[in-house]
Structure 1
Amino acid sequence: MQRYFVPPALMGQQSVMLEGDDARHAAAVMRSKPGDCFIACDGCGRDVLAKITSIDKETVKADIIETLSRRAEMAWKVTVAQSLPKGDKLETVIQKGAEAGAAAFRPFLSHRTVVQYDERKEAKRIDRWRKIAKEAAEQSHRSIIPSIEAVATWKAMLALFAEYELVLFCYEEEGRSGGGLKDILSGFKASLPDSAEPRILIVVGPEGGFTQQEADQAASSGAKLVGLGTRILRTETAALYALACLAYESGELGGI
């Protein structure tokens, strides 16, 4: 069933409204009509089943017929910090990362970032990244839209490490030396109280990886340097690989 994220102001106790692109999507793409149902989410964890009462290309009005209780979010609140890669690779990371359960994305600049970042275009880029996150969250039946933060400097990123219970700094040299993710996650999980919802940061470098100096700075700022196996992963693969590992350790995959 089609799912839409709706601003809380448009979702009341008994009715909900779609406007703009969502209304046009419902009318022109889904060809919805009165009596059809959709799921509306306020982005804060409230999901409802709604039945359309009126529809045109600008506005869809619907009555709420049921509040849904399905949990679609990871217990661990995982943020992906991705050094800006070339081309549209960050869009792939955001789209697939949102599907995999990431709660937020923090792009940043590091020493080997190749992209010539233009701050004048930042607002437009962030709008596009947020649209991608929203569409991916709808497609994967998330209850929240992952947040997209402004592009940070490496110094600013280091300062953010203190906000998280665990910072995983993905560094290929650790993979070669046997410093893997499994032991770190097992120990971290064992230290958590029941029903904990820890904040975790995954830090991924650009195409050329991190420098030794950056790795040392990350470790000094509290990060755990981890390898993601013995193979070298592309930058757009690393975060998704780590997210899958975290989903498993958090119990997201049940008895698998």
Structure 2
Amino acid sequence: MQKYFVAPEQFGEHYIEISGQDAHHVTHVMRTKEGDLFIVSDGEAREALVEYTSVEAGTVKARIVEMRELDREPHYDIVIAQSLPKGDKMELIIQKCTEIGAASFVPFVSERTVVQYDAKKEAKRIERWSKIAKEAAEQSHRNRVPSIAPCMSWKQLLQHVSSYELVLFCYEDERGTQLRDIVHPFVMERREHKGNAKVMIVVGPEGGFAPREVEEITSAGAHCVGLGRRILRAETAGMLALACLLYETGEMGGV
């Protein structure tokens, strides 16, 4: 069933109004007819099953059939910190990691980042990435849309390490410590705690990280981890690390 995210103020007591591109999608892409059902969420605390009733001046009106209390969010708030990759790879990373369960994204520039960062284009780029995150969250029926932070420098990223309970620094040259060596004990220790754990996964660009960066981020408190015996692409590493972390936390059953 199709799902849409709308602003909280679009939720009424009995009806919800949908405007802009979402209204166009309802009427012209999905060709929704009177009586058809779909889901609407405000991205915060409310989600409703609604019935399409009418469209006027480009605004769709839908009657609330029932409020829903489904929670599809992970118990951990996991941030993907990704050094800017080439081309449109960041779009793929945001789309797939949103589907898997990332809470937010922090793009950054590191020593071996190939992309030439252009601050003038940042607003447009974040707008594009945010749209991709919204569409992926709708497709996967998330309860909220992941946020996209402004692009950080390496120095700025280091300053954020202490804000997280666990920071996993994915490094292809790490041979001794694998992801599970760090994650499993952390999950076991945190089982008695209430509230969501804040975790950051740091992934490098196509050329990987410089030795200096490895020293700096581990000194700041991050755990340097490997992701198996194979070398992964920049756009693959974050997805794998995120999926493995969620598995260890019991997202797929077990713990």
Aligned counterpart, 2:177: 179
Q: In the alignment, does 2:12 pair up with 1:5?
A: no
Mapping of 1:166-245 within 5 angstroms? 166-174=166-174, 177-192=175-190, 193-245=192-244
Paired with 1:47 and 1:251, the residues of 2 have a C-alpha distance of 25
Q: CA deviation at 1:45?
A: 3.4
Unaligned runs of 5+ in 1: none
Q: In the alignment, does 2:26 pair up with 1:29?
A: no
Please tell me whether the aligned partners of residues 27 and 57 of structure 1 are also in contact (alpha carbons under 8 angstroms): no
Q: Normalising by the residue count of structure 1, what TM-score does the alignment of the two structures yield?
A: 0.96
Give the SS at the match of 2:152: coil
Paired with 1:210 and 1:117, the residues of 2 have a C-alpha distance of 17
Paired with 2:215 and 2:12, the residues of 1 have a C-alpha distance of 51
Q: Report sequence identity in percent.
A: 54
Paired with 2:57 and 2:106, the residues of 1 have a C-alpha distance of 35
Paired with 1:113 and 1:194, the residues of 2 have a C-alpha distance of 38
Q: CA deviation at 1:12?
A: 2.3
1:32–1:217 distance in 2 versus 1, CA, 3 Å: same
Give the SS at the match of 2:183: helix
Paired with 1:141 and 1:195, the residues of 2 have a C-alpha distance of 25
Give the SS at the match of 1:210: coil
Please tell me whether the aligned partners of residues 98 and 136 of structure 1 are also in contact (alpha carbons under 8 angstroms): yes
Paired with 2:245 and 2:14, the residues of 1 have a C-alpha distance of 38
Amino acid at match of 1:206: P
Paired with 2:253 and 2:45, the residues of 1 have a C-alpha distance of 21
Aligned counterpart, 2:250: 251
1:57–1:247 distance in 2 versus 1, CA, 3 Å: farther
Aligned counterpart, 1:145: 145
Mapping of 1:56-75 within 5 angstroms? 56=56, 58-75=58-75
Give the SS at the match of 2:22: helix
1:26–1:83 distance in 2 versus 1, CA, 3 Å: same
Amino acid at match of 1:250: T
Amino acid at match of 2:32: S
Q: CA-to-partner distance for each residue in 1:13-54, whole Å, 9 max, x for gaps?
A: 322110000000000011112211110010113211111221
Paired with 1:133 and 1:185, the residues of 2 have a C-alpha distance of 26
Aligned counterpart, 1:40: 40
Unaligned runs of 5+ in 2: none
Q: CA-to-partner distance for each residue in 1:91-124, whole Å, 9 max, x for gaps?
A: 0000001000000000000000000111111111
Paired with 1:172 and 1:13, the residues of 2 have a C-alpha distance of 53
Q: CA-to-partner distance for each residue in 1:205-228, whole Å, 9 max, x for gaps?
A: 000101111011101111011000
Q: CA deviation at 1:55?
A: 1.9
Aligned-residue CA RMSD (Å): 1.3
Give the SS at the match of 2:13: coil
